[in-house]
């Protein structure tokens, strides 16, 4: 019997998926077989040791033009060679892609995250893509899908001592370590290397003033550089 996801044309044989491995980035795979809620995948990347052992919980996603479909899964058959078995734990959750105009930027930022391993100490990162709905961060260490983050960045088109920082709250929706996409980010403003990968952050509601500031900044930046 075909799974619900397969009947929707998302997890058919041959479909490419991404496995989000906690604190280890993303591993690509291809669907080899699917019956009910059970899937057999052929791994296209070499995952870190023990990340796909039997009983491990991972998030699997499929990217389509409007956004990403995500499933929470448990490893039912540990990785043996290039094959791994998964059991879907729930139906897909759809995360829409940002539809707002985006500006390519290179802005120094400070990032703080919640969670059991956090101590409230901000870390340096670089915002490389910004829209009213979210941003791409490079060099943000230790972030994983689901983290709630506060990103503080200066949005003035003319940086100077009078520029007021803007703090934005968001949630990490995708994460990739440097090893899954090659070196990320290059040198951070003021020194240091952004070599710890990148994340995509979706802004949350309840911060209208900050989001309006982002909207004005993006509109001004695109007005000067043109749209893609």
Could you report the per-residue pLDDT of 129-170, keeping only the tens digit for each? Answer: 999 889 999 987 778 777 889 999 998 755 555 577 999 998
Residue 62 confidence class, pLDDT cut points 50, 70, 90: confident
Tell whether the model's pLDDT for residue 65 goes beyond 80.
no
For residues 60 and 6, give the distance between their C-alpha atoms in angstroms, rounded to a whole number: 14
Instruction: Check pLDDT > 80 for residue 29.
Output: yes
- Domain annotation for the chain: domains and CATH numbers: 4-96 (2.30.110.70), 103-225 (2.40.10.220)
Rounded distance between C-alpha atoms, residue 19 and residue 175, angstroms: 11
Amino acid 187: pLDDT: 38
3-state secondary structure of 215: helix
Decide if 36 contacts 1 (C-beta within 8 A): yes
Report the range out of 176-180, 213-217, 219-223 with the highest average pLDDT: 213-217
The span from the CA of 197 to the CA of 139, in Å, is 6
Q: What percent of the chain has pLDDT over 90?
A: 25
Q: What is the mean pLDDT of residues 28-41?
A: 90
Q: What percent of the chain has pLDDT over 70?
A: 76
Q: Pick the more confident residue, 45 or 128.
A: 128
Nearest to 130 by CA among 55, 66, 220, 59: 220
pLDDT-derived band of residue 42, with 50, 70 and 90 as boundaries? very high
Evaluate if residue 210 carries a pLDDT over 80.
yes
Inter-residue contact 66 to 172 (CB < 8 Å):
no
Mean pLDDT of the chain: 78
CB atoms within 10 A of CB 136: 22
Length of the chain: 228
């Amino acid at each position: 019997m075909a799974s619900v996801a397969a009947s929707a044309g998302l997890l058919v044989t041959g479909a490419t998926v991404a496995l989000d491995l906690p604190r280890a980035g993303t591993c690509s795979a291809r669907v080899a077989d699917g019956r009910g809620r059970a899937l057999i995948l052929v791994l296209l990347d070499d995952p870190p040791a023990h990340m796909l052992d039997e009983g491990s919980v991972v998030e699997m996603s499929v990217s389509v033009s409007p956004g990403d479909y995500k499933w929470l899964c448990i490893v039912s058959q540990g990785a043996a060679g290039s094959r791994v078995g998964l059991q879907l734990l729930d139906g897909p959750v759809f995360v829409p892609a940002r539809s707002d105009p985006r500006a390519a930027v290179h802005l120094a930022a400070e990032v703080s995250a919640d969670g059991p391993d956090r101590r409230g100490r901000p870390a340096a990162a670089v915002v490389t893509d910004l829209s009213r709905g979210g941003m791409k961060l490079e060099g943000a260490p230790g972030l994983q899908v689901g983290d709630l983050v506060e990103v503080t960045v200066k949005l003035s088109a003319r940086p100077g001592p009078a520029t007021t920082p803007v703090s934005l709250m968001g949630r990490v929706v995708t994460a990739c370590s440097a090893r899954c996409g090659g070196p990320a980010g290059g040198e951070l403003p003021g020194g240091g290397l952004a070599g710890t990968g990148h994340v995509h952050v979706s802004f949350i509601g309840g911060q209208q003033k900050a989001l309006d500031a982002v909207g004005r900044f993006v509109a001004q930046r695109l007005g000067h550089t043109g749209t893609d």
